[in-house]
Amino acid sequence: MSETVAIIMPAFNEESTIGPIVHATAKAVPQADIIVVDDASSDKTADVAQAAGAKVISLPFNMGYGAALQTGFKYAYKHAYNYAVQMDSDGQHDPASIADLLRAVQNGDADVVIGSRFMGLGNYRAPLLRRIGMKFFGTLASLLLRRKITDPTSGFQALNRHAIRFNASDYYPVDFPDADYIIMLHRAGLKVKEVPVAMHPSPPGKKSMHSGWRPLYYVFDMLLSMFVVLLRKHAFKRETEQTPEEQEGVGQ
């Protein structure tokens, strides 16, 4: 049986970038299905993505990045994809790096392979405050996992079937799935690995999820979430696959 791959792209008002990104991704991984989750955009994101050849899931109202991303994982799990790649739809994540992510997860090196922009490939440089946050939470995650995590906020990842199932469940943090998510994976018995990838700066005028007052909320929310993760005893079992009847209730 051939191994199926889903490329999951959350999108909110990405009319100007989604078309070229879908085309570039399809060229890089022609065997994959590209699934764009339109988070109730007010522009023509859904139409442009569909015209470019993507499968489009349109949410009825804006749910945020994490919830849109999980919608894609629920779709991938229900439709029995063997692997999934999550990536942004604004051009930050280079489709040329997808093969490296998939290779690492398909080889069985890890359940989740995170693309790191800080492992020597490219010259990505985040704003100062964000670099401080990345370093802080990366250090915390490294201590808890007992292995170095260089890019805890990377949204460029490849996952196997076990991790897809985890992300489709109620364990998945739909607010800011960053360092707390990595710790959750570790405590659930899923193996995490980083590989170097190429990333580009956000497009001019692009509003970051961590802009304005949000960094303060993010720090508080992430620390609280990490604390709760450490207290929580996971019932998730890596080796156990659910029945088709249980699959229908994933995340509900």
213 exposure class (CB count in 10 Å sphere: 0-12, 13-18, 19+): exposed
Cα–Cα distance, 80 to 83 (Å, whole number): 9
The 10s digit of each residue's pLDDT in 111-167 is 999 999 888 665 656 655 666 666 676 777 777 777 888 888 889 999 999 999 999
The 10s digit of each residue's pLDDT in 25-40 is 999 999 999 999 999 9
pTM, to two decimals? 0.81
Kindly give, in sequence order, each residue whose CB lies less than 8 Å from that of residue 10, ignoring residues fewer than 6 positions away.
37, 39, 65, 68, 69, 72, 86, 88, 89
Specify the DSSP class assigned to residue 195: E
pLDDT band (50, 70, 90) for residue 183: confident
Q: What is the CA radius of gyration of the chain?
A: 17
Token couple for 89 = 């739809």
Cα–Cα distance, 76 to 205 (Å, whole number): 32
Q: Note the Cα 16 to chain centre separation in Å.
A: 21
